[in-house]
Amino acid sequence: MIDGAEFRPIDHLLLRGSAERMALDGRSGSYDYAELEQALGRLAAWLAGFGLEPGARVASWIAKGPVAALMPLAAPRAGLVHVPINPLLKHAQVSHILSDSGARLLIGTAARLDTLLDGDVPADCQLHREDDAACAMSGGDPLGPSSATPDGIAAILYTSGSTGRPKGVVLTHANLWLGAVAVADYLELTAEDRTACVLPFSFDYGQNQLLSTWYAGGCVYPLDYLTPRDVMKLVDRRDITTLAGVPPLWVQLAELDWPAETAEKLKRLTNSGGALTRPLVAKLRALFPDAHLYPMYGLTEAFRSTYLPPALVEAHPDSMGRAIPFAEILVVRPDGSVTDDDEPGELVHSGPLVAQGYWRDPVRTAERFRPAPSASRYGGMAVWSGDTVRRDAEGLLYFVGRDDAMIKSAGNRISPTEIEEAAVSVPGIAEAVALGIKDDRLGQAVRLLIRTAAPQAVEAVAAHLKQELPNFMQPKDIILLPEFPRNPNGKIDRVALAKEHGA
């Protein structure tokens, strides 16, 4: 038992479902719970057959489908640690994740593996095609459920910080299991629910689409969509009841002409990765009158922190809500004392959903993971979010601001440093600063400021970034400046630049 919930290793998740009920459906075929558990065991046995040491990292860089859906369970069952890689990333980011995690095996689609350059893959990292993993799921002796402990490491999810390259958040079996339990509980998921999985499985929010639905015994429908209309078609074709999204997707979906009989199939809409605006909340409630809307706030370092119950959305559309099950959320002053009502403070998350830190990064771990405030009932290590929030007299939380320089665009957390490093690698570029600017569709877009003596270098930078960075990191515009302002220490004055150019 963990805080009132029975713990089981994450790879036991499918054992909860009724054997003959549909567990996974999609373009690559359908599986009931018994068939999917068998496929899971076979995939785990295939992974175990490579003879890697316990705890070795296994990365996957694949599109949505049965292999991608089962890897979060199959790797832990084999005693390995799963490292999912966003399919939108390109070779430079993939190379960093493989090297940083110490991955011993990478499963990728043939097309993606072909984009890797010499030196991108560590010498001791094996490469295998997704097709081989899919074949392994169809035959052979399955590996039985694991006997993992709650603190056994199950996954490393890479997330960008405001500075530096992506860092790996270390998650245990208990982190993943309790996250599934918590979300299934407050969303009131049942075995009758059908979840459209449109978010990347490399995100904690996207991965939990699978885990919480399976905990409830429902069915998942993975979809790599090309247009928002593809999502609407899936809702209609598969009688989808549950849809998770980020604000830019909701903006696009709200612009479609939804037939009433399709819209009424949705019973549950969840949002994270940025706040919904009041007009968008109103539009979603009008478009989907039969659906409950769940605004949420989360941190990869602690999975999910808060949610706003649907009954409170109309009266409090700007609120982040209250703590989810298993989470303790405190709003504190710089000295760690709890703030008064409506007094801004830092959001601190304590409890068993807190991750184990950043992989092999004690410095950044010490910055974000610190002892819980004295008022915490859990104690232990807590995540100090860096986000400023306030708590009203009813206990509802409201976002005030973000302390770091993170750019949050279309639900993606973007490191300015990563863009800047790519820009200054172009000959002639002396300095670069990436800023987040307001964008009605994306939440924030990227504006890149560069200093160079060669005006024609702007085109070279744009071409280089398109080659090296994924689409969601591409600048909306690139501005050439003759000089960057400096602070007294001689460093670039980012505050002054943001004030002048970060509209």
The winner for highest mean pLDDT among 93-102, 245-254, 488-497 is 93-102
Whether 472 maps to a domain, the answer reads: yes
The candidate with the shortest Cα–Cα distance to 330, out of 343, 311, 317, is 343
User: What digits encode the pLDDT tens for the residues 287-311?
Assistant: 999 999 999 999 999 999 999 999 9
pLDDT band at 471 (very low <50, low <70, confident <90, very high): very high
> Taking 90 as the threshold, does the pLDDT of residue 407 lie above it?
no
Residue 107's pLDDT is 98
Domain end marker among 85, 114, 147: 147
Whether 42 maps to a domain, the answer reads: yes
For residues 495 and 253, which has the higher predicted lDDT (pLDDT)?
253
Task: Give the alpha-carbon dihedral of 294, 295, 299, 300, to 10 degrees.
Answer: 50
Which amino acid does the sequence have at 381? M
Residue 7's pLDDT is 86
Question: What percent of the chain has a predicted confidence (pLDDT) above 90?
Answer: 79
Q: Are strands 167-172 and 153-159 parallel, antiparallel or unpaired?
A: antiparallel
**How much is the average pLDDT of 359-382?**
96
> Taking 90 as the threshold, does the pLDDT of residue 251 lie above it?
no
Residue 405's pLDDT is 67
pLDDT band at 193 (very low <50, low <70, confident <90, very high): very high
Residue 440's pLDDT is 87
Whether 54 maps to a domain, the answer reads: yes
- CA–CA separation, 379 vs 156, rounded Å? 24
**How much is the average pLDDT of 430-447?**
91
- Tell me the two tokens of residue 63: 């599109």
Domain end marker among 147, 181, 198: 147
Please count the structural domains in the chain: 2
Whether 483 maps to a domain, the answer reads: yes
Whether 427 maps to a domain, the answer reads: yes
Whether 75 maps to a domain, the answer reads: yes
Whether 422 maps to a domain, the answer reads: yes
Q: Indicate the pTM of the whole model.
A: 0.88
Domain end marker among 98, 114, 147: 147
**How much is the average pLDDT of 84-88?**
93
CATH code of residue 496 = 3.30.300.30
Whether 435 maps to a domain, the answer reads: yes
User: What digits encode the pLDDT tens for the residues 101-124?
Assistant: 999 999 999 999 999 999 999 999
**How much is the average pLDDT of 363-368?**
95
> Taking 90 as the threshold, does the pLDDT of residue 403 lie above it?
no
Mean pLDDT score of the chain = 93
Beta-ladder partners of 2: 5
CATH code of residue 108 = 3.40.50.980
* SS3 label, residue 297: strand
Residue 163's pLDDT is 52
The candidate with the shortest Cα–Cα distance to 474, out of 442, 430, 427, is 442
- At 262, phi and psi to the nearest 5? -80, -45
Domain around 412? 407-501
